[in-house]
Amino acid sequence: MFDIGWSEFLFLAVLVLIVVGPQELPGLMRRLGQMTSTVRNAALQFQLNLKALDRENSMAELKKFADDVSPKNMLNQVEKDISDVLTPPDILDDHLNDTLNDTLNETVASSDVDEDDIPNDGNKDGPK
């Protein structure tokens, strides 16, 4: 991790021995060991929390997938798909109505029948 060789480690040990002194070196090593243990425990706890969070997320995804694949949801989706296929779009209805009206108007315009000969069902506007 730090890429420290034996020669560098020996140099650091001698430097610490000179700076700290032989009387305080055991206490310093004890505190260094405690700090190392605390840092390791914190890292382990962090890893465990990340794994637990990952498990919760994967469980939520599995639950969502199971809900999506449930027979009730699948039946609802099939019913919706069938309804979408069997129900013609509104644009098709408008197109058919326009075509029928155009054909009816052309037929009435090209016929030799007077308007008085056409039976009136109470609609004053004429055919639609």
Tell which residue, 118, 20, 54, has the closest CA to residue 126: 118
In which domain, by residue range, is 25 found?
8-66
Percent of the chain with pLDDT over 90: 28
Q: Does the residue 3 lie in any domain?
A: no
Q: Residue 67: pLDDT above 60? A: yes
Q: Are both 62 and 74 inside the same structural domain?
A: no
Confidence of residue 45 (pLDDT cuts 50, 70, 90): very high
Q: Does the residue 126 lie in any domain?
A: no
Q: Are both 39 and 78 inside the same structural domain?
A: no
Q: Does the residue 1 lie in any domain?
A: no
Q: Are both 89 and 47 inside the same structural domain?
A: no
Q: Are both 84 and 56 inside the same structural domain?
A: no
Prediction pTM value: 0.41
| Count: domains in the chain | 2
pLDDT digits (tens, 9 = 90+) for 79-109: 888 887 777 666 667 777 788 888 888 777 7
Q: Are both 59 and 101 inside the same structural domain?
A: no
